[in-house]
Amino acid sequence: MSGRRGEGGKGGPPLRRLVLCADDYALHPLVDQAVQALARAGRLSATSCMTTAPHWPAAAAALRELRPALALGLHFNLTEGHGGHDGHVQGGALTLGQVLRRAYAGGLRVPALRAQWAVQLDAFERALGTPPDFIDGHQHVHQLPGVRQALLQELQARYGAHEMPWVRSTWPAGSLWRSPKAAAIALLGGWTARRQLRRAGVVMNRGFGGVYAFDAPDVAAYRAHMRRWLSQLPDGGLLMCHPAAAPVPRDGLAGQRVVEWDYLRSQAFARDLAQAGCRLHQGPMRG
């Protein structure tokens, strides 16, 4: 599926290069199992990692052999407590609603947030020996007021231009704006983060897809979403997914993760990717 840069069919247009990123690596071994299997099969090009998870160091070991075909990112976390793990801003995990309210009321302080960026980036680098290839946020918190300023400060202090991770933009591709959820995510910091980070020279993806209400009851329904996303994403776009090899206990996405897993490992996905004129790529094009 990866192909060579710009490779298309005989006399056909170049294939669009897309990042397909599985979020939540290290959340649970069933998520990790799905990510590893899909990566080995060439059905993923990136995964973003929750370094606050208690078993992150063990889960990270399995990723080393998958590089560089699989890009590895930091999935910055403020809202997942991992069964009581205390590693978040102002002590303990917050709900997404609490994070949003504090962010827009100015209650998330940049120094405390930057300390959290440092903690989670340090955990990634200790486990894998390199900076992350990219950065995003669990429930997209990386784009919120205060959080994005702390991110930029930490990136500029920690990394030179040659090793600077790229950052996820949640700006919807094409007509994907018509999804109320996609529009809400983009407006809750996506537009401002994109503008501020690009002004600072940070590379970002060119369009975003994969947003839906986690309401696809079967593979056919999820496939319909995927076909729409593939039709809209430009060259250098990013598509997120959330697979798991079996239902994750006490997880709100338990059933939906398995639906995504079943589709992504199917021949239907391979055909849909080819018919859309797309191939998987590890990151957005720089420059």
Task: Quote the CA–CA distance of 27 and 139 in Å, as a whole number.
Answer: 13
**Residue 4 belongs to a domain:** no
pLDDT value for 3:
39
Rounded to an integer, the average pLDDT of 94-107 is 92
Structural domain includes residue 104: yes
pLDDT at position 91 over 80: no
Find, among 197, 198, 228, 225, the residue nearest to 212 by Cα.
225
- In a domain, residue 227? The reply is yes
Mean pLDDT of the chain: 91
Say yes or no to pLDDT of 92 above 60.
no
Do 96 and 155 form a contact (C-beta atoms < 8 A)? no
* Residue 7: inside a domain: no
Band the pLDDT of 82: cuts 50, 70, 90.
low
Total count of domains within the chain: 1
User: Could you read off the pLDDT of 119-176 as tens digits, one per residue?
Assistant: 999 999 999 999 999 999 999 999 999 999 999 999 999 999 889 999 999 999 999 9
Residue with tokens 């996405």: 253
E-strand stretches of 115-165: 134-137
Q: Does some domain include residue 162?
A: yes
Is position 5 within any domain? no
> Does residue 207 lie in a domain region?
yes
Residue 286 domain-assigned? Answer: no
Copy the structure tokens of residue 249.
């206990």
- Domain with residue 109: its CATH number is 3.20.20.370
Do the beta carbons of residue 253 and residue 242 sit within 8 Å? yes
**pLDDT at residue 5 greater than cutoff 90:** no
User: pLDDT digits over 222-271, tens only?
Assistant: 999 999 999 999 999 999 999 999 999 999 999 999 999 999 999 999 99
Q: Which residues form the domain of 233?
A: 16-280
How much is the average pLDDT of 91-97?
A: 75
Report DSSP letters for 155-171, one per residue: HHHH--GGGPPEE---P
> What is the Cα–Cα distance from 256 to 245, expressed in whole angstroms?
11
Amino acid at residue number 157: A
